Amino acid sequence: MTQLGGKAHGKPRQKAWKPKVKTGCVTCRTRRIKCDEAKPTCVRCASSARKCGGYTDDQNQQETGLSWQDHSWQHSWTPLAVEADHSQTSKSSQEILAYPQLLVFDSKVEGQAFDFFRSYSVPDLTALFRVDEDFWHVSVLRMSMTQPAVRYAVTGLGALHQVFSHGYQTVVPDDTSDAQVQFALRQCNRAIKALSANAGRQDEPIHKVSMLMTCILFTCYSTLQGHQTQSLMHFRNGLKLLESLERSTRTSGTSATLYDELMESFVSAFTTLENQARTLICDERLPPLATQIRVQQPMCTNDTLTFRSLVEVRSFFDCLLSDMQCFVQESDVEAEWVLAGARPRRSSADGYRILVDRSANGKAAMDKFLSRHSPVSDRDQKTVLVLQVHHCLLDMYLAIFRLSSEYGDLVWDCFESSFETMVNLCRQILGCTDKDLYTTLSKATQRRMVNDCTSAGSSPEDCNVRDTGAILSAKGEQPRPVFAFSQGVVGPLYIVAMQCRSPKLRREAIALLLRYPRREGLWDSFSAGRLAFEAMSLEEDMTQRWQAPQDGDFQVHAAHDIPAQCRIRDVEVVHIGARLARVRFRTTEDCIRKEQASYEKWMAW
């Protein structure tokens, strides 16, 4: 027998092992004692006359905190999940936006790519328009947790964006040996296979939404690679899917479907891509009103049009900008745009008046909205500045149509104040100081003459569009590249750089495009700046040769110094390779005579 309190013979006693408790109030955790976790204060602290320190926020989070960071990487993708609380959403929305409580990825690299997309890519994509966060941060990410194809596309794009953000260009380096790029390519292929595996379910709405989201992600993926032809292909395929999804909602016989909450976001995304595809570096022509499914804005008087949010303001002006682009495109085909002596058709005149009324009503409604919600937050202020830039551009184009029959190509010179307003607004958006701006461009004497590159048979080595490094000054630190989805400053700055002949404003616009590397959807600030610099060089060189007989030392000092016959009216970019294009610069005379471009160059990126 053993004495009371004595040790038993044989194996010594061992403390029973239990997992360490990491919860409890702050006071008990500091004292390293077990807490009973009573709310609002624990009993142990109250019974010992101590002040309970309460509970930290991280203990109140849902168990979705058991994410990929807390699990081994040997499991397959398994959405184990019980849905989170969807009390704020409809039952139909819960079916599409089911939220798994446990996220397990196939590898650590995949988990890191997902986290980069969530933490860095989404803020970049929505930097100009915070209203897009619901689509990118909620819809896309949540669907990526239940739809493998979307997950593969998200993680592939996250990996590619990580490579992009660590560089200094507006495209990812063309290096397939890079481990991150290889991973992104594999994820892209896995997404395609996942979609193909569900081909038998292609008529189901959930499959259509998954394909549509993947298509948008693939468009972003291709633009980061600089593969514009593929970007346009994905965009066109997305338009077809969007129209198919819209038809299925109309024929379903119900007023609401599983995907009503996403349709508005999809329409907004493709309207943005449509506006971009019609302009900058796209050699293909879209049919008028490609996004026919979007809600047509009714004619409203100044008193009836009201905006309740920045989402509605942005949607209104995006649709209006798209309709204006279609109008300009059709007017140009019918020889009614910036052509002296042109006589617009009655249908064109009627369409013009409708656009003018819509623009005026929209501007008045936006001003009322801003006056009711003043002051706006710093981030929303950037959104407001972007909307003001786009409205200034819209108003200028509408006024140009009215005056172009009188002034022809010289009509752009009447809007120098509008160009200056757009440049100043873009500078505010980019946060550009005077010092940053005026140290960007190289000296004009460093430009080589361009009149030796006119023949269509010139090789790329003989006649290239100058690279950014040949135009930019080496002074100053280069800002990191930005990847945004929405249209922001690149389009307006390109218009200023191409159409404003004021040497000062033109160079300021080019400096902003080249100093701040930005990819805004299909738009690329470096390509825009390089093309605009070549057009400016061509025009000023042609003007000097034209003035040489009278003044051998002539220099361009004002917009009116460049005559109409020395102006570039059209820039056509024909993609002949993944990252190589033939650029044709057509002068006003070329367009009037319907001749081939007088100047042709090659551009690689």
Identify which of 76-90, 240-254, 580-594 has the greatest average pLDDT. Answer: 580-594
| Bridge partners (DSSP) listed for residue 582 | 574, 602
Cα separation, 253 vs 256, in Å, equals: 9
Cα separation, 186 vs 73, in Å, equals: 18
Cα separation, 489 vs 503, in Å, equals: 20
DSSP output for 171-191: S--S-TTSHHHHHHHHHHHHH
**440, 514 Cβ separation under 8 angstroms:** yes
Give the number of other CB atoms < 10 A from CB of residue 351: 19
Helices (H) and strands (E) in the chain, counts: 22, 6
**582, 602 Cβ separation under 8 angstroms:** yes
Q: Which of 144-153, 320-329, 532-541 has the lowest mean pLDDT?
A: 320-329
pTM (2 d.p.):
0.78
- pLDDT band of residue 21 (cuts 50, 70, 90) is low
Q: Is 432 a residue whose pLDDT tops 80?
A: yes
Cα separation, 499 vs 402, in Å, equals: 17
- pLDDT band of residue 102 (cuts 50, 70, 90) is low
pLDDT confidence of residue 214: 93
pLDDT confidence of residue 67: 37
pLDDT confidence of residue 250: 67
Q: Which of 175-184, 241-250, 442-451 has the lowest mean pLDDT?
A: 442-451
Q: Which of 94, 81, 141 is nearest to 113 (CA)?
A: 141
Token pair of 255, please?
């007023």
Give me the half-sphere count of Cα atoms (radius 13 Å) on the Cβ side of residue 318: 25
pLDDT confidence of residue 50: 85
pLDDT confidence of residue 506: 93
What's the chain's average pLDDT?
Answer: 78
pLDDT confidence of residue 15: 53
pLDDT confidence of residue 55: 77
Cα separation, 380 vs 388, in Å, equals: 12
Domains annotated for the chain, with CATH where assigned, are 26-60 (4.10.240), 63-292 (no CATH), 403-604 (no CATH)
- Average pLDDT of span 246-272: 69
Q: What is the dihedral of CA 55, 58, 64, 66, to 10 degrees?
A: -110
Q: Quick one: three-class SS letters along 504-558?
A: HHHHHHHHHHHHCCEEECCEEHHHHHHHHHHHHHHHHHHHHHHHCCCCCCCCCCC
Q: Is 312 a residue whose pLDDT tops 60?
A: yes
Cβ-based neighbours of 423, under 8 Å, separated by 6 or more = 493, 496, 505, 508, 509, 512
Give me the half-sphere count of Cα atoms (radius 13 Å) on the Cβ side of residue 30: 11
Q: Could you say which DSSP state residue 464 is in?
A: B
Q: Is 520 a residue whose pLDDT tops 80?
A: yes
Sheet holding 580-587, edge to edge: 568-577, 580-587, 599-604
Phi, psi of 532 (to 5 degrees): -65, -35
Choice between 175 and 62, residue whose per-residue pLDDT is larger: 175
Classified as helix, coil or strand, 209 is helix
pLDDT confidence of residue 241: 85
pLDDT confidence of residue 303: 58
Q: Which of 106, 102, 219 is nearest to 157 (CA)?
A: 219
CB contact burial 38-69 (16+ within 10 A = b; e otherwise): eeebbebbeeeeeebbebeeeeeeeeeeebbe
Sign of CA dihedral 282, 284, 289, 293: negative
Give the number of other CB atoms < 10 A from CB of residue 370: 18
Strands 599-604, 518-520: pairing kind = unpaired
Q: What is the pLDDT of residues 365-387, one digit of tens each?
A: 999 999 988 788 777 888 999 99
Q: Which of 18-22, 185-189, 458-462, 575-579 has the lowest mean pLDDT?
A: 458-462
Token pair of 148, please?
């493998």
- Average pLDDT of span 459-487: 75
Q: What is the pLDDT of residues 452-469, one digit of tens each?
A: 454 444 444 447 888 887
Cα separation, 195 vs 189, in Å, equals: 10
Q: Is 216 a residue whose pLDDT tops 70?
A: yes
Query: Can you state the angle between helices 490-499 and 416-430, rounded to 10 degrees?
Result: 150
What whole-number percentage of the chain has pLDDT above 90?
Answer: 28
Q: What is the pLDDT of residues 39-97, one digit of tens each?
A: 778 888 888 878 888 876 544 433 333 333 333 333 333 332 333 333 344 444 444 44
Cβ-based neighbours of 189, under 8 Å, separated by 6 or more = none
Cα separation, 568 vs 541, in Å, equals: 12
pLDDT confidence of residue 280: 52
Q: Which of 281, 280, 603 is nearest to 465 (CA)?
A: 603
- Average pLDDT of span 254-279: 73
CB contact burial 156-192 (16+ within 10 A = b; e otherwise): bbbbbbbbbbeeebbbbeeeeebebbebbbbbbebbe
Classified as helix, coil or strand, 10 is coil
Choice between 439 and 65, residue whose per-residue pLDDT is larger: 439
Sheet holding 482-484, edge to edge: 482-484, 518-520, 523-524
